[in-house]
């Protein structure tokens, strides 16, 4: 088995996903009847996505939005998470989603989908890597934007392919520009989720009590605490737990992070956005 390079810090075993949950609540004494029924936790998730467009993604090096070096979204069927969970959770502690740079040709070959939301020759994608209890890889899987039902014995790449694609990302102008944006600190190279967090995704239900079918990930940016504080000072209907936010995100400001959205979406009354997990290294 291949040993992953990202060893410092070690991947944790505690449940660390969805740090966006419960950060925002309504002030009952100031409640607006128009928003009283809503769950507002997802507000920060939306802010993450808009901040990324004017921040970490704004200097992508692309000549136009038509050739951005990333996709509009990264969709995964929850049954795929279920397959990975059932197969690998007894053998390890979590799963890593590593940044790679992939060509249009390889993307179509690996995913079986010709629906590519950018005209760029190469763009950002993620490889799913289950980890054993010693942080060793137990395979590298293609799971996002598949044009077919996921099959573990078919939708994988070799350790050497993963290494090349990951290095393509780290050496790309896009990744260099993201590092410049965050200088002197560096961007993440991957995102980690515990199996406990994946299990929560499997059992999340909509407002009608039905299980969701898919998760759609969109690129976001961790926002500086002072910006969020200012936003909620200007919106007195909400109470914001800045202590919990600082505990979850301090030190990761200006980093790229995918934001998940459960589908099919609820029309009213349900928080549907969550963050992807912990950024590494």
Residue-level pLDDT at 13: 61
Q: Which residues is 124 bridged to in the sheet?
A: 101
What's the pLDDT at 45?
Answer: 81
Asked if 41 and 261 count as a contact pair (C-beta separation under 8 A), the reply is no
> Residue 115's pLDDT is what?
94
Report whether 188 contacts 268 (CB < 8 A).
no
Return the pLDDT at 127. Answer: 98
| Per-residue model confidence (pLDDT) at position 277 | 66
CA–CA distance, 117 with 138 (Å, rounded to integer): 30
Angle at 220 between CA 156 and CA 50, to 5 degrees: 145
| pLDDT means over runs of 10, the chain (281 residues) | 41 64 69 48 81 92 86 97 97 94 97 96 97 95 98 97 97 95 93 90 85 93 89 82 84 90 69 68 71
pLDDT at residue 63, as a whole number:
72
Placement of tokens 């209890």 in the chain: 133
Cα gap 275→254, rounded to integer Å: 14
Residue 199: predicted pLDDT: 92
Q: What's the rounded Cα separation, in Å, for the pair 197 and 248?
A: 15
DSSP 2: P
Take residue 112 and report the two structure tokens written for it.
């079986």
Q: CA 18 to CA 203: how far, in whole Å?
A: 14
- Residue 43's pLDDT is 74
């Amino acid at each position: 088995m291949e040993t992953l390079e990202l060893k410092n810090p070690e991947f944790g075993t505690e449940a660390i996903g969805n740090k966006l949950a419960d950060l925002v609540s309504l002030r009952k004494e100031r409640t607006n009847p128009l928003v009283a029924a809503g769950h507002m936790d997802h507000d920060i998730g939306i802010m993450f996505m808009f901040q990324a467009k004017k921040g970490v993604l704004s200097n992508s090096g692309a000549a136009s939005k038509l050739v951005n070096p990333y996709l509009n979204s990264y969709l995964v069927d929850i049954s795929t998470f279920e397959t990975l969970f059932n197969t690998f959770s007894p053998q390890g502690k979590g799963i890593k989603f590593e940044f790679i740079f992939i060509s249009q040709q390889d993307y179509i070959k690996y995913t079986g989908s010709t629906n590519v939301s950018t005209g760029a020759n190469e763009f950002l994608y993620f490889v799913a890597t289950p980890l054993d209890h010693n942080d060793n890889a137990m395979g590298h899987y293609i799971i996002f934007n598949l044009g077919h039902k996921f099959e573990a014995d078919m939708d994988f790449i070799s350790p050497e392919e993963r290494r090349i694609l990951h290095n393509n990302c780290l050496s790309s102008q896009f990744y260099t520009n993201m590092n410049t944006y965050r200088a002197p600190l560096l961007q993440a190279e991957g995102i980690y989720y515990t199996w406990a967090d994946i299990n929560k995704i499997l059992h999340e239900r909509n407002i009608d009590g039905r299980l969701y079918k898919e998760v759609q990930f969109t690129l976001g940016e961790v926002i500086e605490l002072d910006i969020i504080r200012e936003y909620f000072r200007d919106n007195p209907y909400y109470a914001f737990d800045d202590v919990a936010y600082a505990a979850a995100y301090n030190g990761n400001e200006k980093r790229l992070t995918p934001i998940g959205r459960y589908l099919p979406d609820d029309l009213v009354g349900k928080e549907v956005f969550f963050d992807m997990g912990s950024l590494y290294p």
